[in-house]
Amino acid sequence: MHDTRSVEKILSRLMPPALSEAGQREIEAMLDELAGPAVTDTAAGQPRPRLWPLVGGIAAAIVALVVVSHTFHAAAPAATARATTDPQPFELVGESDRVEAIRDDGWRESPEGSAMRAMRLRVVEENSLLDHETGIVMRISEPRDELLLMPVSAF
């Protein structure tokens, strides 16, 4: 077993010496020089644009649109009330999406200039509907192609 003083000697040799005050000042001056001059806030001195006229115009347009839509659709609530009381001929029993095929489409470049890996997917959306009159369950399939772009960070 080593003596505690010998361990302290070994550790003192391994520890780097402290920087002098002059060396510390030179490092700080170099960092200040690399950082450049201080930036002043130029936006504080300029008047801010007034957004209230723009916001007021948008709000007025929305109110006008709501008023116009209510005047033209005054008779619509009676028609919708009648339609909701009628039983629906079909009921959605289930829906699913499945991927049937995946194909590598190679490398693509995004509009920002980064490399993207393109994968082409064949997806099938399937809905199951129940016909209340006959009791038959119908399956409606809707295939679609999708292009999936995945960013590549390492080559």
Asked, for residue 132, whether it belongs to a domain, the answer is yes
Asked, for residue 131, whether it belongs to a domain, the answer is yes
**Which pLDDT value is given to residue 138?**
86
For the full predicted model, state whether its pTM sits above 0.85.
no
Q: Is 116 helix (H, G, I), strand (E, B) or coil?
A: strand
Give how far the C-alpha of residue 59 lies from the chain's centroid of Cα atoms, to the nearest Å. 28
Q: Which domain holds residue 126?
A: 86-151
Beta bridge pairs of residue 91: 130
Neighbours of 23 (CB within 10 A): 10
Asked, for residue 140, whether it belongs to a domain, the answer is yes
**Count of domains forming the chain:** 1
Which two tokens mark 92? 């959605």
Beta bridge pairs of residue 92: 129
Asked, for residue 79, whether it belongs to a domain, the answer is no
pLDDT along the chain (155 residues), means of 10: 70 71 87 77 60 68 69 53 64 88 85 83 90 86 87 72
Asked, for residue 102, whether it belongs to a domain, the answer is yes
**Which pLDDT value is given to residue 43?**
57
* DSSP 8-state assignment for residue 20: P
The total number of residues written for the chain in this structure = 155
Asked, for residue 49, whether it belongs to a domain, the answer is no
Asked, for residue 100, whether it belongs to a domain, the answer is yes
Asked, for residue 123, whether it belongs to a domain, the answer is yes
